[in-house]
Amino acid sequence: MMKTSQKFVAFWLTGCALLITLASVAAQGAQDKAEEAPALFVDVLNVSVVDLDVYVTDKKGNPILGLTKDDFEIFENRREMPITNFYPVVGGSVVARDQTPPVVVQAEEDQEESAAGGAAPAIERRNEPPPLPAKQRLSLVVYIDNFNIRPFKRNKVMRDLRIFLRTHVTKDDRVALVTYDRSLHLRQPFTSNPAVISRALQELETVSGHAVHRVSERRDALEQIEDATTEQEGLSFARIYAGSIYNDVTFTISALREYVDGLAGVPGRKMILYVSEGLAMRAGEDLFYAVQEKFKTTYGLTQIYDFDSSSKFQALAAAANANRVSFYTIDAGGLRVYGADVSDRTPRQGIQVDQIHTSNIQSPLLYIAERTGGKAIINTNSVLKPLAKVAQDFRTYYSVGYTPAHYGDGRYYRIEVKVKGRKGLRVRHRDGYRDKTPMVRAEDGVRSGLIHKIDDNPIGIGLEFGRGTPAKRGHFTMPLAISIPLSQIVLIPNAGSHEARLQVFVAVQDEEGGTSEVRNAELPISIPDPQIEEARGQSYLYKLDLLMRPGVHRVAIGVRDQVGAEFSLITKTVQVGGR
């Protein structure tokens, strides 16, 4: 279970304290210096590349293949940026410049459409393509919003989802399952086995969905408005209902934002397949219109904006873009036609009230998908065919990158990608990103490592635990040692020695998902010149103590080379104390 940030703080204060003992640092094969190392002045040039997954399609949604770097333009805050990285990905493989173009064959299901002049092509590769870079590996999250969905609507979508996952997820992809049931639940951590996710989805079919009560609550409020004798009485019913919905939407967005932030340190492309029956952009908007329709006055419509959540959805989309997360949203409500579903039919009000309700709850799904470069699936009783279009995004796109002049300034930048000289094409991509500071990036990585149990270890650090010893108040002092290969960090000559500047980041998660704050410490390394060649074949050993409660804990360690601008993350589980 993942808890809210308030509970994270409570967990920290109730005893999962993290004590870093800086005095216990040793180097294998090198003498410890008694005096403090002299200051090291290095002009570090940090360079970052902003990678964009760009989808170019025709009006029917069919991918446009064969574009080159010269066909694209990128603008950051309306300023054109030189493209530094570019490669097309077709069918999940990089198409090299000198590679024989892929053979385009007609998909069987589209043969009739082809005869009419249009088709969605299937792709076969003629040559063995270059491997897809690790930073393009797909991490897909199936996010079922149980609080905003009815069980029978959800279960129908999940049956299509199971077919979709079996058909379109490969061994190179990672898939996780999360539900929101008034709080976040990680039902299945990232796995490369789609059958595991399929079983977890099937188990969810017995879990209740809370939107049944919400539908009933809306119908009751509309009936109260219809029976009201004055406008003020009708508005009071609308405000009570809108306040309840607004509160629920706020909690729902907060949970989504928490999970999106938790994906920050997960490497590669990240997509969230969000399933619900919609969320209100302006809570109770349709009820205020019902009051207006009954009493023929516009006075009450000004109160709609007291329950406007558009800024919260904007912040959610911005957070997703900052963390390279795309939303693919599904309205499980199906084809929304007035009067088609008796349970959804509005009592005694006209069709306009239902139309406003539908537009209001679908607009956030469209908005966050569009802003993050994803797609929204709405107004359909079967999501299987639209999901095939989503799978197309998994495997066929253009990876386009540029190097901004700034680095780590914490600001948000708007992005626009254009295809030159082509009319009628549709270009999708995330529309911005936040240029996070190195400290924030490292802390995000450590948190993600705890939540998702994903290591990213280019430096090759190691982690070993010692034997815990009893401490005060039932806690244990748990020693651990972090080994850092000296050959993998940047050592700069400085006055008779070679020196490095590292930062160590540590966080702990307990069995219930409670997570400590991320703590960090500076780690200067100084090795005398006569010992540098021998030391390069060894590891630096950094020791610290953690003060922990009894139980099973997961520890995440991050090491950042400040000079080399490299970051490594490793996580490991440890049993503290006896059972």
* pLDDT tens figures, 479-530: 999 999 999 999 999 889 999 999 999 999 988 878 889 999 999 899 999 9
Q: Chain centroid to CA 154: how far?
A: 22
Distance between CA 52 and CA 446 in Å, rounded?
Answer: 24
* Token code pair at residue 374: 């994803």
pLDDT digits (tens, 9 = 90+) for 529-565: 999 999 989 999 999 999 998 999 999 999 999 988 8
How far is 208 from 81, CA to CA, in rounded Å? 50
Q: Looking at the structure, tell me whether residues 542 and 562 fall in a common domain.
A: yes
Residue 47's pLDDT band (cuts 50, 70, 90): low
Give the pLDDT band (50/70/90) at residue 272.
very high
What values do phi and psi take at 328, rounded to 5?
Answer: -120, 110
pLDDT in tens, 239-270: 999 999 999 999 999 999 999 999 988 888 99
Model pLDDT, residue 360: 96
CB environment 252-284: b (16+ within 10 A), e (fewer): bbebbbbbbbbbbbbbbbbbbbbbbbbbbbbbb
User: Taking the alpha carbons of 380, 386, 390, 393 in that order, is the dihedral positive or negative?
Assistant: negative
Same domain membership, residue 252 and residue 351:
yes
Q: Of the ranges 90-104, 330-344, 356-370, 414-428, which one carries the lowest mean pLDDT score?
A: 90-104
**One domain, residues 246 and 389:** yes
Measured N-to-C along each axis, helices 285-295 and 211-227 cross at an angle, to the nearest 10 degrees, of 20
**Confidence grade of residue 345 (pLDDT, cut at 50, 70, 90):** low
Can you tell me the distance from the alpha carbon of 68 to that of 46, in angstroms, rounded to the nearest whole number? Answer: 28
- pLDDT-derived band at 276 (thresholds 50, 70, 90) equals very high
- Judge contact between 354 and 286, C-beta under 8 A: yes
**66 has a pLDDT exceeding 60:** yes
Read off the pLDDT band of 300 (50, 70, 90): confident
Alpha-carbon separation of residue 334 from 153, 340, 344, 358 (angstroms): 8, 11, 12, 11
- Residue 110 sits in the same domain as residue 222: no
For residue 119, name the pLDDT band (cuts at 50, 70, 90): very low
pTM: 0.81
Does the pLDDT of residue 134 top 90, yes or no? no
Q: Are residues 372 and 390 in the same domain?
A: yes
- In a 13 Å sphere around the CA of 451, the CA atoms on its Cβ side amount to 27
pLDDT at 125: 43
| Range with the largest mean pLDDT of 120-134, 374-388, 508-522 | 374-388
pLDDT exceeds 70 at position 390: yes
* pLDDT reported for residue 346: 54
Looking up tokens 């950051």 gives 76
Q: What is the pLDDT of residue 96?
A: 66
Strand pairing report for 79-81 and 551-561: unpaired
Q: Do residues 218 and 150 touch, judged by C-beta distance below 8 A?
A: no
Domain count, the chain: 3
Rounded Cα–Cα distance for residues 67 and 569 (Å): 37
Domain final residue, candidates 434, 459, 492: 434
Q: What is the mean pLDDT of residues 96-116?
A: 43
Helices 151-168 and 384-395, packing angle to 10 deg? 40
Distance of CA 391 to the CA centre of its chain: 18
Structure tokens of 60?
């029917």
- When pLDDT is averaged across residues 15-30 and rounded to a whole number, the result is 34
Together in a domain, 39 and 74: no
Q: Taking 90 as the threshold, does the pLDDT of residue 97 lie above it?
A: no
Checking if the pLDDT of 401 tops 50, the result is yes
Q: If you average pLDDT over every residue of the chain, what do you get?
A: 84
Residue 60: Cβ within 10 Å count: 10
Pick from 28-32, 132-136, 366-370, 521-525 the range whose average pLDDT is largest: 366-370
**CATH number for the domain including 264?**
3.40.50.410
CA angle 52, 57, 62 (to 5 degrees): 130
Residue 465 structural domain: 5-45+437-576
Q: Are residues 77 and 224 in the same domain?
A: no
Dihedral sign for Cα 455, 457, 460, 463, please: negative
- Examine the domain organization and report whether 14 and 125 are in the same domain: no
CATH of the domain at 473: 2.60.40.3880
- HSE of 56 in the Cβ direction (CA atoms, 13 Å)? 23
Instruction: Tell me the two tokens of residue 362.
Output: 């679908």
Separation CA 516–CA 3 (nearest Å): 12
pLDDT, tens digit, 9 for 90 and up, residues 437-471: 889 999 999 999 888 888 889 999 999 999 999 99
Give the pLDDT score at 350.
Answer: 67
- pLDDT tens per residue across span 197-223: 889 999 988 888 788 888 899 999 999
446 plus 557 within the same structural domain: yes
Q: Are residues 122 and 146 in the same domain?
A: no
Instruction: Indicate the pLDDT class of residue 348, thresholds 50, 70 and 90.
Output: low
Q: For residue 9, is pLDDT > 60?
A: no
Place of tokens 């500047």: 501
What distance in Å separates the CA atoms of residue 226 and residue 247, rounded to the nearest whole number? 24
Q: What is the pLDDT of residue 344?
A: 53
Domain boundary (408, 434, 460) is at: 434
Do 525 and 564 belong together in one domain? Answer: yes
Q: Tell me, what's the pLDDT at 152? A: 92
Given 367, 395, 423, which residue is the final one in a domain?
Answer: 395
Calpha distance 329→157 (Å, rounded) = 12
Query: What pLDDT is recorded for position 33?
Result: 41
Residues 569 and 454 grouped into a single domain: yes
Provide the sign of the torsion angle of the four alpha carbons 522, 525, 526, 529, taken in this order. negative
pLDDT in tens, 353-378: 999 999 999 999 999 999 999 999 99
Give the pLDDT confidence score for residue 46 in this predicted structure: 55
In contact, 158 and 285? CB cutoff 8 Å: no
418-421: long-range contacts, CB 8 A cutoff, minimum separation 24? 418/72, 418/73, 418/75, 419/56, 419/67, 419/71, 419/72, 419/73, 420/70, 420/71, 420/72, 420/73, 421/71
